[in-house]
Amino acid sequence: MRSGRMTAGQQRAFDENWERWGLDADAGRLDLQQAFQRKAPVTLEIGFGMGQSLVQMAKSDPARDFIGIEVHKPGVGRLLHSMADEQVHNIRVYCHDAVEVLRECIDNSALDRVQVFFPDPWHKKRHNKRRLIQPAFVDQLADKIADGGELHLATDWEHYAEQMMEVLTASPRYSNRSGAGQYAPRPDSRPLTKFEQRGERLGHGVWDLIFVKVC
């Protein structure tokens, strides 16, 4: 878990909204229909940061439900603040480790889509092994994604993009939606962040990978 100092607004949003939108990892298996009070396609985002893009996605797609996982409590507070401000009600959030949430809380084949945008690149070579996108992890994700569902990754580190492509291509459980070895154009469903806009002006690249779960 990552600690961090919350602003007064983030703490207030957390205190006021966690009970209705927060999910407790210790509660065990998640009943999606009970959590959202309806049955709908579900997208899981791992590591949503401050949550601006997640709120934007949920607001623009009200027929879909979203689960966010983030270990940084100020980010969770900011997400809850934005949800209240924007009157977005189709997100539920865990403030917990994603691997444990997947193992203990999410049923197999429960998710329509999983997205991991700009995970920590651990850019020093000796730290590459700490990267989230590894064979065992994408296999764990495949268990949770329904057949025909998507895994969508994005990074602004070319070396990490290459590793992502290598890991997913090697897995028999996924098929590249864009064709063998090809990166995907950014879909409209992934908002362009201010960080990306600044990077584009500076000539920095961003790589999207969208793979379909096949088995």
Active site residues: 120
| Percentage helix, strand, coil for the chain under 3-state DSSP, each rounded to 5 | 40, 20, 35
Token pair for 92? 């539920």
CA angle 102, 106, 112 (to 5 degrees): 100
Sign of the four-CA dihedral 136, 138, 142, 148: negative
Alpha-helical (H) ranges within the chain are 8-21, 32-36, 52-60, 73-86, 98-105, 135-144, 158-170, 194-201
92 phi-psi bin (left φ>0, alpha ψ -120 to 50, beta other): beta
* C-beta of residue 101 within 8 angstroms of C-beta of residue 107: no
Token pair for 156? 């602004």
For residue 69, give the 3-state DSSP assignment: strand
The rounded distance, in Å, linking the Cα atoms of 8 and 179 is: 47
